[in-house]
Amino acid sequence: MKVNLIYLLSLFLSLCMIISCGAPEIRSGAPEIQKGDFPPDLLGETSDGHEIHLSEFRGKVVALIFWKTWCDACRKELLKAKTLLHAYQNKFILFAINIGEPPGMVRTFKRRYLLDFPVLVDSQAKIFSAYGIHVWPTTILINQQGQVHWTSIGSEMELLRQEIEVLLGEKQ
């Protein structure tokens, strides 16, 4: 009986962890980086090892989405972001930064979901730590001056669209 109870408790806790990733909106665990901060310059590496730096995109609006391949909410967010990027005809830059997973796994995910924007790898979770990310997906919007304009955890694509409009000067 005691073994069954331990088994059921373990199963319940495992299910809670899996389901929590699929939650559309999460209101705790905000990134440590705040509006107005200048974020770390290094964004990650391409799957072939080329480093990408935020400073290369000064003067542009840049959206960063931190994610994991196994996270269903992350997958949905990336697909919505792809649609948003196309709707704005690439008027902003989008980077999906994978946290702590092997480059081969990330490449496979990118091909499977036909992601046509840069997908970066943070295999050792250095960028993840530097930005103070605690929950995924986490989205950070950087303004044309290179400062954090807005952050979000969970799925907030409509708010991201509104904030991009503000930065692009298209908000009515």
Contact status, residue 148 vs residue 39, Cβ threshold 8 Å: yes
> pLDDT class for 7, splitting at 50, 70, 90?
low
CATH number for the domain spanning 136: value is 3.40.30.10
Q: Which domain holds residue 79?
A: 2-168
pTM: 0.81
Q: What is the pLDDT of residues 18-63, one digit of tens each?
A: 444 544 444 457 888 999 999 999 999 987 789 999 999 999 999 9
Helices (H), 22-171: 72-87, 103-112, 126-131, 157-168
Please count the structural domains in the chain. 1
